């Protein structure tokens, strides 16, 4: 296999660095809402925009090279927890909803982000930590036999 790379000339190290096809993430959320059970690592790999990668010389990856690269990331990211992947995919989903206009920010909120980026970053950090704490609690929950479902 030639050494694949993204258009910037390097491979992403973490799922956070990967290029995503947000339309695929939107379709994923539709399936989940309809009751589908998923493997979050496979769902993340399915949502990657594999066209963003190229072989040496800028050539598109062959189907075999693309499959090998997917396998590489399946192994590389096998220890990445489902909470991280769910958070990443949900962030990409919300970003797409905002880009489509399904979610609008008020002019006042937009001004806060532009005019006071430190406060904006503080708010984002707060909600990231809250979501992580919620996820950790959910993952740690064990239902006892005498509890209702």
Question: 81 with 138, same domain?
Answer: no
**Using 50, 70 and 90 to split pLDDT, how confident is the model at 1?**
very low
Question: 33 with 64, same domain?
Answer: yes
pLDDT score for 144: 63
Question: 124 with 61, same domain?
Answer: no
Q: Is 10 inside a domain boundary?
A: yes
Does the pLDDT at position 142 exceed 80?
no
Over residues 75-120, the pLDDT tens digits come to: 999 999 888 898 899 889 888 888 888 888 899 988 988 999 999 8
pLDDT score for 5: 53
Which of 56, 85, 114 corresponds to the end of one domain?
Answer: 85
Question: 66 with 13, same domain?
Answer: yes
Report for 9-13, 44-48, 115-119: range of highest mean pLDDT: 44-48
Q: Is 39 inside a domain boundary?
A: yes
- Rounded Cα distance between 20 and 48, Å, is 4
**What pTM was computed for the model?**
0.74
Question: 20 with 50, same domain?
Answer: yes
State the residue range of the domain holding 147: 105-149
Over residues 49-79, the pLDDT tens digits come to: 999 999 888 899 999 999 999 999 999 999 9
Question: 81 with 110, same domain?
Answer: no
CB atoms within 10 A of CB 90: 13
DSSP string for 54-83: E-GGGPBPPHHHHHHHHHHHHHHTTTS-HH
Round the average pLDDT of the chain to a whole number and report it.
Answer: 85
If one counts the domains in the chain, the total is 2
């Amino acid at each position: 296999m030639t050494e694949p790379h993204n258009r910037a000339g390097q491979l992403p190290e973490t799922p956070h660095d990967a290029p995503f096809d947000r339309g695929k993430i939107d379709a994923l959320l539709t399936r989940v809402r309809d009751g589908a059970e998923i493997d979050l690592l496979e769902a993340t790999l399915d949502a990657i925009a594999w066209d963003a990668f190229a072989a040496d010389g800028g050539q598109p990856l062959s189907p075999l090279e693309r499959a090998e690269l997917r396998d590489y990331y399946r192994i590389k990211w096998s220890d990445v927890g489902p909470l991280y992947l769910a958070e990443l995919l949900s962030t990409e989903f919300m970003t797409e909803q905002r880009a489509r206009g399904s979610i609008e920010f008020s002019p006042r909120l937009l001004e806060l982000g532009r005019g006071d980026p430190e406060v904006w970053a503080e708010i984002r950090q707060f909600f990231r930590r809250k979501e992580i704490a919620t996820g950790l609690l959910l993952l740690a929950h064990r239902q006892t036999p005498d509890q209702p479902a």
